[in-house]
Amino acid sequence: MRTGALRVEHDFVKSLVSYLDPLSVQPGKNLSIRVSCEAPGEFQAQLVRLICADNRPHGTGFVEQELDASLNGRYPARYQGLHPGSYALLPALDAMTDVTVVLGVYPTTPTAQGQCMVGHPDLSLRIENGVVVAWTRNGTLRSEQPLQARRWHIVVYSHNATGQCDLTVVRLGLGVGEHDVQNTVSGDLSTCALSAGDWLLAAQPVEGRIQAGFNGRLEAPGILARALSADAALTLHRNRSVTTHADVQGAWDFSLEIGSDTVVDTSPHKRHGSLHQQPLRAVKGMLWRGDIQAWQHAPEQYAAIHFHEDDLVDAGWEADIVWQLPDDLASGVYAVRLRQESSEDYAPFFVRPGDHQTRANLALLIPTATYLAYANQRLGLTDGPFGSSRVKNSNDAYLLQHPEVGYSLYEYHEDNSGVHFSSYHRPVLNMKPKGTPWAFTADMNLVAWLHAIDQPFDVITDEDLHREGEDLLRTYRTVITGTHPEYYSTAMLDALSQWLGQGGRLMYMGGNGFYWRIAYHPHDSGIIEVRRAEDGTRAWIAENGEYYHAFTGEYGGLWRRLGRPPNQLVGIGFAAQGFDGGTYYRLQPGARDPRVQFILRDVSEADILGNHGTQGGGAAGEEIDRFDESIGSPAHALVIASSENHRPGMLRVKEEFHMTQALGNDPQVRGDMTFFETPSGGAVFSTGSISYAGALSTGGYRNDIARLTGNVLRRFLDATPFVYPDS
């Protein structure tokens, strides 16, 4: 992980962590809670309903309700480890006395130790001190030519029944200015018979378990039950004709079924392999020449897989508690609270209404895709672009001490490539109450407000919306978003758009929403993929030629660049970000329009709103969105209020610059509170600020922001259609 210098200057202790599947669950369904305790003994589990998660002295306040449940009680503690690293398993090859292994290798950390490219109990091809080493039970053979980082090589190993071994490494030339460089070493390792069984790529078997640890790309591995010369094997590999050889045991073509976790064996044996811990597919291979940018158009140019020693999408822990939710459990935000001595953990989950339960008119759409994007992010916990380390609690400390829990989509792998995948099938330390007021904790301010005003509501989540589309929303008159619904799949965006087109009313309660396109795993909505293409405020950029998602084949990047800017959906789009404190809104001429008088009813006569809140100064801050007709904001939309007087750290988004420039008092750095009606009788209200929800609770929910937002909600829940204004 490349996020800055690590300084552990705290005494926070956390001895148990947990996660559960699924995040979104209905009454009557099972929930599996997986726990790992470093200390022996027992742990205690308690079901709670979460009302508010912000336990800071100046925060909204922490509120939980303990509930009677059959899962409550004490359970035996056990330690369950984490074993990161992606790999491929190639199943059930025959026993061999003669063998040839050939594959393309693109190492990204060739000087790192402990890397295995091909693994078998009796043979492995490893990288040690920058060179390829063939290991057998009878000895090793070491190449003389060092591997070069981020360059393609072909590696060939063969031995015959007498133990005569050859190891060849070819570094492929670049362009017209280089030729291939080939080196072969030979040796006698006595008999090297290989037992029947599974083979591994990017991993090796160690004491009964699989140990992954390779950083880089592999392509077109082939295994034959014959000792071929280097030239013969290289010819087969370059022509992709290993599969036609009479003695082929397997020839795997990674250009096939790129969107899946299967690696296809094109040999007659059909020994199709499986991928584990989500290595990166749809990446450039040995044949890529730059004329093709979409892997679907020439998959043979994307016939590589990028493995990482620190990939982790599934901790693989066993369930300690399996609990069937009661049929009458109300929709809401819940958690299993776990305690062992002085250590505490929460495993939150979201209960959507059951199929036979009465639905509310209002749904709170929990942005779980964004939670996944930020899952275990360490930005701000280490010295780096967000300042010096700020470890504030035991979850922060655990994240820094345990990189093996995996990374967020804002970080880098050990080989300096961006993290493309995130998952909730592992502990997520920053999606818990009592944490930093961001994402989950910030969204709980909305839950607390709805409880405070006794407003019935259902909870639904992003993965529900992705799977079910508009059908999920059809029964709801109004939907409230979270404070930061940044990551959206095509299916999610389509569903919201279609629902609004049928008269839905949407309250966009945050900022930087509908920003990045993501793709969900085709068979597992607990895993998302992002390709940070071209532009945008981002921690890393995808490799050139790799802007298309593996899961769906869709072009990645900003929805703004993809022709569907958030302005078209909610009237505003990402304008600026800054984390040195919030500010207020000032009413704009649009506030005097009769169409929005219901919004300002009983609100203070002053022209300043939201000069208060829990996010450091005011309701407008952190990340803010602006009205802009040139980007797609509806011409009839009304700007009710705009933020002003932001602090120096609030900077305009980089996608709006064509060249470097410094701006003072930039008029485009503002958050715009907007409203507009839709032709179908619906409406959209947008706050334009992530910090907005933190201002709801001031004065016991008796303040201008709470009154204004309550006015919007009451009118949006009223069945009377909105009138689309005359042009």
Q: Tell me the H-state helices in 247-390.
A: 368-373
Q: Distance of CA 57 to CAs 9, 61, 612, Å?
A: 22, 8, 15
Helix/strand/coil for 184: strand
Cα–Cα distance, 254 to 595 (Å, whole number): 58
pLDDT at 191: 77
Count the helices and strands in the chain (H runs, E runs).
Answer: 10, 44
pLDDT at 11: 63
The pLDDT of residue 5 is above 50: no
Taking the alpha carbons of 99, 100, 105, 110 in that order, is the dihedral positive or negative? positive
Percent of the chain with pLDDT over 70: 97
**pTM score, whole prediction:** 0.95
Q: What's the token pair of residue 202?
A: 């990017």
The pLDDT of residue 389 is above 70: no
Q: Distance of CA 323 to CAs 17, 20, 42, 426, Å?
A: 18, 11, 18, 19
- Count Cβ atoms within 10 A of the Cβ of residue 41 and give its class: 0-12 exposed, 13-18 middle, 19 or more buried: exposed
Q: What do you get for the CA distance between the two ends of the chain, in Å? A: 53
pLDDT at 388: 54
The pLDDT of residue 616 is above 80: no
Which amino acid is located at 598 in the chain? F
Cα 471 to chain centroid, rounded: 25
Where residue 708 falls among pLDDT bands split at 50, 70, 90? very high
Taking CB atoms within 8 Å and a gap of at least 24, the contacts of 698-706 are 698/612, 698/613, 698/614, 701/449, 701/452, 701/453, 703/612, 704/603, 704/604, 704/609, 704/610, 705/609, 705/610, 705/612, 705/613, 705/619, 706/449
Helix/strand/coil for 313: coil
Cα–Cα distance, 533 to 530 (Å, whole number): 9
Cα–Cα distance, 695 to 614 (Å, whole number): 6
- Structural contact between residues 186 and 163, judged by C-beta atoms closer than 8 angstroms: no
Where residue 662 falls among pLDDT bands split at 50, 70, 90? low
Q: What's the token pair of residue 121?
A: 């109990």
pLDDT (average), residues 610-618: 85
When computed from its CA atoms, the radius of gyration of the chain, rounded to whole angstroms, is 28
pLDDT (average), residues 644-669: 84
Q: Count Cα neighbours of 188 within 13 Å in the Cβ-side half-sphere.
A: 2
pLDDT at 56: 82
Where residue 190 falls among pLDDT bands split at 50, 70, 90? confident
The pLDDT of residue 347 is above 90: yes
pLDDT digits over 567-589, tens only?
A: 999 999 999 999 989 999 999 99
The pLDDT of residue 707 is above 50: yes
pLDDT at 573: 98
User: Angle at the Cα of 240 (from 251 to 95), degrees rounded to 5?
Assistant: 25
Nearest alpha-carbon partner for 3 in 616, 559, 539, 711: 539
pLDDT at 650: 92
Percent of the chain with pLDDT over 90: 86
Taking the alpha carbons of 444, 448, 449, 453 in that order, is the dihedral positive or negative? positive
Cα–Cα distance, 577 to 574 (Å, whole number): 8
- Structural contact between residues 468 and 68, judged by C-beta atoms closer than 8 angstroms: no
pLDDT digits over 426-470, tens only?
A: 999 999 999 888 899 999 999 999 999 999 999 999 999 999 999
The pLDDT of residue 166 is above 80: yes
User: Angle at the Cα of 232 (from 227 to 237), degrees rounded to 5?
Assistant: 105
Q: What's the token pair of residue 614?
A: 């829990």
Largest CA distance in the chain: 94
Nearest alpha-carbon partner for 698 in 60, 97, 269, 222: 60
Helix/strand/coil for 372: helix
Q: Distance of CA 600 to CAs 590, 702, 715, Å?
A: 11, 14, 12
Query: Which residues have a Cβ under 8 Å from the Cβ of 726 and sit 6 or more positions away?
Result: none
The pLDDT of residue 381 is above 60: yes
pLDDT digits over 192-207, tens only?
A: 899 999 999 999 999 8
Cα–Cα distance, 111 to 127 (Å, whole number): 8
Domain covering 87-307: architecture:
Sandwich (2.60)
pLDDT (average), residues 271-284: 98
Where residue 663 falls among pLDDT bands split at 50, 70, 90? low
The pLDDT of residue 618 is above 70: yes
pLDDT at 657: 82
pLDDT at 3: 41
Cα–Cα distance, 452 to 699 (Å, whole number): 12
The pLDDT of residue 677 is above 90: yes
On the question of a cis peptide bond just before residue 91, with omega within 30 degrees of 0, the verdict is: no
pLDDT (average), residues 175-179: 87
The pLDDT of residue 8 is above 60: no
Domain extents in the chain: 16-81+322-351, 87-307
Where residue 61 falls among pLDDT bands split at 50, 70, 90? confident
Nearest alpha-carbon partner for 329 in 49, 20, 64: 49
Task: Just give the CATH number of 16-81+322-351.
Answer: 2.60.40.10
pLDDT at 617: 80
Cα–Cα distance, 102 to 231 (Å, whole number): 11
Where residue 2 falls among pLDDT bands split at 50, 70, 90? very low
E-strand ranges in 325-419 read 332-340, 343-351, 362-366
pLDDT digits over 366-378, tens only?
A: 999 999 999 999 8
The pLDDT of residue 224 is above 50: yes
The pLDDT of residue 4 is above 50: no
Q: Distance of CA 338 to CAs 45, 61, 348, 379, 714, Å?
A: 5, 20, 11, 26, 38
Q: What is the dihedral of CA 412, 422, 383, 36, to 10 degrees?
A: -120
- Structural contact between residues 557 and 517, judged by C-beta atoms closer than 8 angstroms: yes
Q: What is the dihedral of CA 698, 597, 717, 629, to 10 degrees?
A: -90
Where residue 189 falls among pLDDT bands split at 50, 70, 90? confident
Cα–Cα distance, 155 to 168 (Å, whole number): 6
User: Angle at the Cα of 412 (from 407 to 418), degrees rounded to 5?
Assistant: 105
Average pLDDT, the chain: 94
The pLDDT of residue 1 is above 50: no
pLDDT at 398: 92
Q: What is the DSSP letter of 418?
A: B
Q: Do 16-81+322-351 and 87-307 come out as alike in CATH topology?
A: no
Instruction: Supply φ then ψ for residue 442, to 5 degrees.
Output: -65, -40
pLDDT (average), residues 348-362: 95
Q: Which residue in the block uniquely carries the two structure tokens 């930020």? A: 374
pLDDT at 304: 98
Q: Tell me the H-state helices in 299-367.
A: none
The pLDDT of residue 6 is above 60: no
